[in-house]
Amino acid sequence: MKKAFIGVYGCQMNISDAERMEGQLKTIGYERVEEMEGADLILLNTCCVRETAEDKVYGKIGEIKHLKRANPDLIFGITGCMAQKESDGLIKRAPHIDFVLGTNKVHELTHVVQEIERERGHIVDTQLGETELPDDVPVARGGKFSAWVPIMYGCNNFCTYCIVPYVRGRERSRLPEDVVNEVREAVAQGYTEVTLLGQNVNSYGKDHKLADFADLLKMVDEVPGIKRVRFMTSHPKDLSDKVIAVIRDGKHICEHIHLPVQYGSNKILKAMNRVYTVESYKDLVRRIRQEIPNAALTTDLIVGFPGETDEDFAEMLAFLKEIRYDSAYTFIYSKRSGTPAATMENQVDDKVKHERLEQLMALQNEISFEINQGLKDKVLEVMVEGPSKNDAAIWNGRTRTNKIVLFEHKDEQEGDFINIKITHPQTWVLKGERV
Ligand code: SAH
Ligand code: SF4
Ligand code: F3S
């Protein structure tokens, strides 16, 4: 077997795409390895959502130059969102890259690698075809019990800060039977948890109109053998009462909604083109909590969007105190050229951005800690994931609400469902013991 290293950056969609790349590479004699050294093929599946994501990849591209010098037969390709964005510019900048394959070309990987094996030379294919779905490609899943299942590709929302619609193209939903079949196959292979993926899962099916997201969730919930169904990401503007009811009535649909608000003031939300208002978002949260009282809510937040003032920021902090998310991913606004926000006036000073980020994180940590204190002495169902990073005697798992639980390992196996009594809730993790 030849050796392939696949480096993955960015979001779950990239993890899922990488599993499909690995699946294809297997069919032409490659096995995936964890080290770049000694690999016959190196793929970087990249992200460009923020400048920091790109910087990481450029650093890696530099490292690989030495490997390529030591082994001229090494094949080096860039895939994913940066490949889509930079296209042949990447090879101009770093000629040791052999090929650049765009986000809609995942299914072309075997052909491209074989062509380079035969004839060497450079290949660039970043056409953003809007119709192709990588539906028939084999998938080599990473986990043993938890499977990523893309239900749609692309995004139509054009939030003014965001590059994703430009590098992933317009929304295309997979056929409901294709999604359900993939879930069935995963269950047949032993997977008990699936996460349905899309940039905005709530607009699933608006193109083909064969099923909406609520219908699809219900179908997946009913697949025999499935134990947990997750989904992400939900755009607040499209999360319907029908979806809320399906989550409420579902047997296996986890009560966790990742519902990125991005900002907590109407002025900034409008400038971001998020379409909803603070009021409509609060009303949505009220309806979710009314129907699914134990739902965990998480979010993404951006500080330093152009035009953000101290007043806006204060409004955002007040908003967070009111909503009380279980946790939040917090980001500093990063200018993405080609997006409307990049040329907006009143870009926020770097120092101010960092100060606001600190403040935001401190407040959110306080809230997460308080919410988790409420779980002390509660017994929660945990799906076992395996040994923790730092201590092999301590294992971790996840609650239905997607919280990480640490416990002392006895005879549990990966994939088991166990009950844990929470003894020491913290900000990021819950510590507990088996009951
Ligand atoms: N489709 C999803 C996620 C998109 S990218 C959604 O709409 O929620 C993940 C997160 O990155 C976004 O939610 C946003 O918070 C953040 N993000 C996107 N563009 C950004 C930028 N230019 N600067 C900083 N953060 C950004
Ligand atoms: Fe980006 Fe907005 Fe689309 Fe999410 S919904 S991917 S933030 S444009
Ligand atoms: Fe990054 Fe592309 Fe995902 S830009 S966040 S990898 S869709």
What CATH number does the domain containing 361 carry?
3.30.750.200
Mean pLDDT, range 254-279, rounded to an integer: 98
**Ligand 3 pocket list (CB less than 6 A):** 10-11, 13-14, 47-49, 80-81, 163-164, 167-168
Shared-domain flag, residues 180 and 245: yes
Distance 174 CA to ligand 2 centre (A): 19
| pLDDT of 143 | 87
Q: 47-97, pLDDT tens digit by residue?
A: 999 999 999 999 999 999 999 999 999 999 999 999 999 999 999 999 999
Answer yes or no: is 81 a known binding residue.
yes
Residue 131 belongs to a domain: no
Domain at 389, CATH number: 2.40.50.140
| pLDDT of 47 | 98
Mean pLDDT, range 223-241, rounded to an integer: 97
Residue 395 belongs to a domain: yes
| pLDDT of 134 | 66
Residue 420 — pLDDT band, cuts 50, 70, 90? very high
- The residues facing 51 across adjacent strands are none
| The pLDDT of residue 412 is above 90 | yes
Choosing from 373, 408, 425, the residue where a domain stops is 373
| The pLDDT of residue 128 is above 90 | no
Shared-domain flag, residues 64 and 171: no
Shared-domain flag, residues 7 and 121: yes
| The pLDDT of residue 140 is above 90 | yes
Q: 367-378, pLDDT tens digit by residue?
A: 999 999 999 999
| pLDDT of 136 | 79
For the chain, what is the mean pLDDT? Answer: 96
Choosing from 125, 150, 173, the residue where a domain stops is 125
CA 252, CA 231: separation in Å to the nearest integer?
Answer: 12
User: Measuring CA to CA, which residue among 226, 266, 234 is closest to residue 383?
Assistant: 226
Count of other CB atoms within 10 angstroms of residue 132? 16
| pLDDT of 287 | 98
| pLDDT of 43 | 98
Domain at 206, CATH number: 3.30.750.210
User: What is the residue whose two structure tokens read 């949505």?
Assistant: 284
Shared-domain flag, residues 317 and 333: yes
Alpha carbon nearest to ligand 2 atom 2, residue: 159
CA 102, CA 100: separation in Å to the nearest integer?
Answer: 7
Shared-domain flag, residues 13 and 40: yes
Shared-domain flag, residues 155 and 114: no
User: What is the residue whose two structure tokens read 């080599």?
Assistant: 140
Taking the CA of residue 310 as centre, how many other CA atoms within 13 Å lie in the half-sphere pointing to its CB?
A: 0
| Ligand 1 pocket: which of 281, 300, 353 to mutate (most atoms within 8 A of CB) | 300
Distance 14 CA to ligand 1 centre (A): 14
Shared-domain flag, residues 193 and 244: yes
CA 292, CA 96: separation in Å to the nearest integer?
Answer: 53
**Ligand 2 pocket list (CB less than 6 A):** 155, 157-159, 162, 164-165, 199-200, 235
Residue 45 belongs to a domain: yes
Residue 131 — pLDDT band, cuts 50, 70, 90? low
CA 238, CA 223: separation in Å to the nearest integer?
Answer: 25
Residue 415 DSSP code = T
Choosing from 323, 344, 373, the residue where a domain stops is 373
| pLDDT of 121 | 87
Residue 135 belongs to a domain: no
Residue 337 DSSP code = T
Shared-domain flag, residues 399 and 298: no
Mean pLDDT, range 97-121, rounded to an integer: 94
Residue 20 DSSP code = H
Q: Are 199 and 10 in contact (CB under 8 A)?
A: no
Answer yes or no: is 48 a known binding residue.
no
**Peptide bond between residue 233 and the one before it cis (omega within 30 degrees of 0):** yes
Residue 282 belongs to a domain: no
| The pLDDT of residue 132 is above 90 | no
CA 137, CA 132: separation in Å to the nearest integer?
Answer: 12
**Residue 11 contacts by C-beta under 8 Å, 6 or more apart in sequence?**
47, 49
Residue 152 belongs to a domain: yes
The count of domains in the chain is 4
| pLDDT of 190 | 96
Residue 408 belongs to a domain: yes
Alpha carbon nearest to ligand 1 atom 10, residue: 300
Mean pLDDT, range 174-180, rounded to an integer: 96
Shared-domain flag, residues 79 and 52: yes
| Ligand 1 pocket: which of 47, 50, 158, 162 to mutate (most atoms within 8 A of CB) | 162
Q: 12 is in which domain, residue-wise?
A: 2-125
Distance 50 CA to ligand 1 centre (A): 8
Shared-domain flag, residues 262 and 232: no
Mean pLDDT, range 295-299, rounded to an integer: 98
Residue type, 130: E
Residue 73 belongs to a domain: yes
Both tokens of 78, joined, read 């860039």
CA dihedral of residues 165, 166, 171, 174 (deg, nearest 10): -110
| Ligand 2 pocket: which of 200, 238, 273 to mutate (most atoms within 8 A of CB) | 200
| The pLDDT of residue 238 is above 90 | yes
Shared-domain flag, residues 7 and 120: yes
Alpha carbon nearest to ligand 1 atom 1, residue: 199
Shared-domain flag, residues 268 and 248: no
